[in-house]
Structure 1
Amino acid sequence: MEARALLVAAVASVTVFFLVSADLMAAGPYAVDLLEFGGCDDGEYRGVTINVSLILDEKTNDTTYRGDITVFYDIFADENEVEIIIFKWGSTGGWSQIYHLNYTKPYEYTKTNFPLVFDLFFVEIGMDKKPLTPGVYHIHRFMLRRITLEKFVAFPYGKYKLYFKGLKDGERLACAQALTSVYEVENSQGMGFKPAF
């Protein structure tokens, strides 16, 4: 009798596993949370210094980033380039590169093609005019949660590492990196949270 009960339990477990697995989606309506943000971990960049810390904000009782970004050149000059490199965490472990983009006219291109990034980051810290004046820009209460990119209604779920590099005359002078989590959200209605810097 015990063997038969064990067999029934095993068959029921396998059946439930396949029913649940069949319902899992790899992509679709989503939201994105920022997990980590800071300067790049792949070398030194003499054009921009990023000095931020993850802190507990007593006002909101949540973790946010605070600190300074020091800019030594006009990153928005038309002849400068931006390079975006995106890696995705694999289901069996390890990062693999899935996207690479280079573009010039950083101000216009970013504002037109990545308006949410432009508004939530550059505008909020005062980098919203061209030409960009070299100097120190302050970050206060920066943490992106439950955002949806305006031009993507669906997206593959998982963890992503993004590198944003600034180039001048072919030399990489600036780099910021972010680690994000993209997860399933039913009937996502776009940005659910806007940070207060």
Structure 2
Amino acid sequence: MRRRKRSGDRDRKRTCGQRPRTISISLPDRGQTTQDFAIGIGVFLLSIAFVFSYIPSLTTPFASPTGDAETAQADRIADRLVHNISDSTGRNEIDGEQFVDTYVEDDDDENVTALGLRVTDDTVFDHVSVRLETLNGTVLEEEDKGKLVVETTTYDGQSAASSARVITINDSENFELKEEYDDESAYRLVVRVW
């Protein structure tokens, strides 16, 4: 009697080259699963969202809340002031007495219109502060008249467009800066618009 060949016998007689190859992978060596993919994509999307939300804060200190119109207006007012009250003897040398007479002492709207600002009746449309300062930022004071500041609205450090001119001040009989500013070689005329 002949023995029947079973399928198991046939596999035993195969050589190594004929057997199907199977690979056994342990848990640490396995391929990517759905959970791995989901975690990787989640981390990637969170990092992209963080970058896009952080980029605007990088440029915030350099962006000005005031527009180009305010910057141009501050520059125009500074130019007009230096031109109107400068002495003919030197460049950017202003007449301190004329500055006080024209802008500081007048409490009416004439000083506002002299600055070239828009005004109707009792309403001033532009917020402007003009200061004569030392180069380190201290507001100048005249012996008799006090601080050399012209303001349509009080400036309290809010965001403003500013323009500055380096000037010298011509003293006269009716205008004399306090003695503490005698050592200064130059001053700043600072115009702020907001």
On whether the aligned pair clears a TM of 0.5, the verdict is no
For the superposition of Structure 1 and Structure 2, which TM-score range results when normalised by the shorter chain? under 0.3
TM-score (norm 1): 0.25
Quick check: which one's helix share is greater?
2
Quick check: which one's strand share is greater?
1
Q: Which has the larger radius of gyration?
A: 2
TM-score (norm 2): 0.25
